[in-house]
């Protein structure tokens, strides 16, 4: 929970503690009361004791009712709103009316009612009502709701209906209805980039080796079946507008593009396009560049990126220490620089990534968001990987760089984020681990909404537990060698002591 929510719980907890102490004091006082003689004094003493006990009990019940505290003792926190929903509700800055029409016979709907009512306690700006339309059809007709299990949100004259029993979906709706202005993410589409209307993907199963994403399998990754429709769907649920744009032959990029995304271009940019992108950044624009290892960057575009403090190097990073499963070219990242785009990130992985560098540039601050391990190296010849590995320099390589500042001749500060891989946002990799969190967090920072609560729309994949190669090695050493070895050692010691 956020600090705001924890602070809101303290008064209720103090009430509970105070009432418990009062009851204990009353009980102790009753035990220590002296015996009274027979007659009216004895009966009057008993009557006063009963009245006092009744009064304290009534006051305790009233106090508990008015200062109700929710305690969820389940390990999975099944009866508590999700951490994402809690953050969204706790940071509400405007009044929102939430009316939930639920079907009483639906267990999921009854569970949603509990969570929604708990959400209403987190922030007085969220006004919650739950209505059973079967018992109160007039209310459903008055609000114009036709479906069961629908959350109706009303704020500042705006209205939004969300058919769901998931508290995270309701939190996403809260973000949408409270968004002050419409943001638009523009995806470049004239260089064979990943298509935002393509939802095709292939599923990755642990231990399956039918294909790889290393340097020999690069052609498998770069195929038409990959798209970024899942990313586009996530942005839609967050209330962010999405559209395609073309840069080739354009004189300028529209000012309503809050962020320009160039995800996996396959054909080279023209020199004039670098000037168009540079002019957009000088006006205070934001851009996300996702480039694959085998993409050749046009010199003018490379020079423009250099003015923003970003250099994109050639080759593919190989990391024998920190990689996903057994593929040394599928880099796994667990440590990140302190940056708004990398908040709350766990494990992310990149199936084939090129190195980047953060370089000094006038008026610009750039930082490497995450890097490979110190054991990593770069190969440039796909046909001589083993030979290059023997002589390669092993050092940490930056894989993503974020920069901001004002370019020479610029009028407003820009923001730019570059990653040496685009596959991590494709449909086949976006839902897994923290890849979606990184993509959405990067776009939120570029939109200058880094202070907003982070929220990831639910993605249709099963939950998994993923480990890096180093983590798997330590688990093997401890569980397969260490623990059995200690048992054998203890047995040998006992045998020796009994023998002697």
Q: What is the pLDDT of residues 116-129, one digit of tens each?
A: 999 998 999 999 99
Are 261 and 128 in a shared domain? no
| In-domain check, residue 46 | yes
pLDDT at residue 215, as a whole number: 43
- Could you report the per-residue pLDDT of 333-347, keeping only the tens digit for each? 999 999 999 988 889
Give the residues across from 430 on adjacent strands.
none
- Could you report the per-residue pLDDT of 425-480, keeping only the tens digit for each? 999 999 888 899 999 999 999 999 876 555 565 555 555 656 666 777 778 788 88
Are 402 and 376 in a shared domain? yes
Residue 24, pLDDT above cutoff 70: yes
Whole-number CA gyration radius for the chain: 30
Domain boundary among 400, 426, 446: 446
| In-domain check, residue 476 | no
Least confident of 4-8, 29-33, 287-291: 4-8
| In-domain check, residue 389 | yes
Which position has the token pair 């084939």? 352
CATH of the domain at 163: 3.40.30.10
Are 147 and 247 in a shared domain? no
Domain boundary among 130, 151, 178: 178
Are 276 and 358 in a shared domain? yes
- Could you report the per-residue pLDDT of 224-254, keeping only the tens digit for each? 457 999 999 888 888 889 999 999 888 899 9
What is the average per-residue pLDDT within 161-185?
Answer: 87
Are 225 and 114 in a shared domain? no
CA distance 87 to 171: 9
Give the residue among 119, 70, 69, 80 at the shortest CA–CA distance from 98: 119
| In-domain check, residue 451 | no
Are 111 and 252 in a shared domain? no
Are 199 and 317 in a shared domain? yes
| In-domain check, residue 273 | yes
Domain boundary among 144, 178, 212: 178
Are 232 and 265 in a shared domain? yes
What is the average per-residue pLDDT within 43-52?
Answer: 77
| In-domain check, residue 455 | no
pTM listed for this prediction: 0.70
CATH of the domain at 304: 3.40.50
pLDDT at residue 207, as a whole number: 41
Are 301 and 156 in a shared domain? no
pLDDT at residue 87, as a whole number: 87
Are 33 and 161 in a shared domain? no
Are 200 and 233 in a shared domain? yes
Domain count, the chain: 3
- Could you report the per-residue pLDDT of 104-156, keeping only the tens digit for each? 999 999 999 999 999 998 999 999 999 999 999 998 889 988 889 999 999 98
Give the pLDDT band (50/70/90) at residue 365. Answer: very high
Are 314 and 338 in a shared domain? yes
Domain span including residue 262: 191-446
| In-domain check, residue 74 | no
| In-domain check, residue 152 | yes
């Amino acid at each position: 929970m956020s600090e705001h929510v924890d602070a809101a719980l303290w008064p209720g907890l103090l009430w509970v503690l105070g009432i418990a102490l009062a009851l204990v004091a009353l009980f102790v006082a009753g035990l220590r009361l002296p015996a009274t003689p027979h007659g009216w004094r004895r009966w009057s003493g008993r009557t006063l004791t009963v009245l006092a006990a009744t009064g304290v009990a009534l006051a305790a019940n009233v106090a508990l009712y008015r200062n109700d505290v929710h305690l969820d003792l389940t390990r999975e926190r099944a009866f508590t709103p999700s951490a994402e929903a809690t953050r969204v509700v706790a940071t509400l800055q405007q009044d929102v009316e939430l009316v939930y029409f639920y079907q009483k016979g639906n267990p999921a709907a009854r569970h949603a009612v509990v969570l929604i009512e708990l959400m209403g306690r987190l922030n007085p700006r969220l006004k919650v009502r739950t209505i059973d339309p079967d018992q109160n059809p007039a209310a459903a007709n008055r609000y114009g709701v036709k479906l069961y299990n629908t959350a109706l949100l009303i704020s500042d004259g705006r209205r939004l209906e969300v058919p769901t029993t998931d508290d995270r979906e309701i939190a996403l709706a809260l973000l949408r209805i409270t968004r002050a202005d419409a943001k638009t993410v523009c995806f470049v589409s004239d260089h064979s980039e990943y298509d935002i209307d393509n939802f095709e993907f292939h599923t990755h199963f642990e231990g399956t080796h039918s294909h790889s994403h290393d340097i020999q399998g690069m052609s498998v990754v770069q195929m038409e079946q990959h798209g970024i429709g899942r990313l586009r769907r996530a942005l839609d649920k967050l209330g962010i507008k999405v559209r395609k744009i073309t840069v080739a032959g354009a004189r300028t990029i529209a000012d309503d593009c809050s962020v320009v995304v160039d995800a996996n271009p396959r054909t080279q940019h023209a020199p004039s396009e670098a000037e168009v992108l540079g002019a957009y950044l000088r006006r205070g624009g934001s851009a996300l560049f996702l480039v694959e290892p085998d993409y050749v960057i046009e010199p003018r575009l490379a020079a423009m990126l250099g003015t923003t403090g970003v250099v994109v190097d050639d080759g593919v990073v190989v990391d024998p220490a920190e990689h996903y499963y057994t593929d040394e070219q599928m880099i796994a990242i667990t440590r990140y620089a302190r940056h708004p785009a990398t908040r709350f990130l766990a494990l992310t992985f990149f199936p084939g990534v090129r190195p980047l560098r953060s370089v000094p540039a006038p008026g610009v601050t750039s930082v490497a968001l995450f890097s490979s391990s110190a054991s990593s190296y770069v190969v440039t010849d796909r046909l001589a990987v083993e030979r290059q590995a023997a002589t390669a320099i092993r050092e940490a390589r930056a894989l993503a760089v974020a920069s901001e500042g004002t370019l020479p001749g610029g009028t407003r500060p820009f923001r730019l984020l570059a990653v040496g891989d685009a596959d991590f946002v494709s449909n086949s990799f976006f839902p897994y681990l923290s890849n979606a969190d990184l993509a959405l967090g990067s776009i939120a920072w570029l939109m200058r909404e880094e202070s907003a609560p982070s929220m990831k729309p639910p993605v249709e994949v099963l939950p998994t537990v993923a480990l890096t190669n180093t983590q798997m090695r330590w688990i093997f050493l401890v569980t397969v060698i260490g623990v059995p070895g200690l048992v054998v050692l203890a047995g040998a010691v006992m045998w020796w002591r009994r023998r002697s």
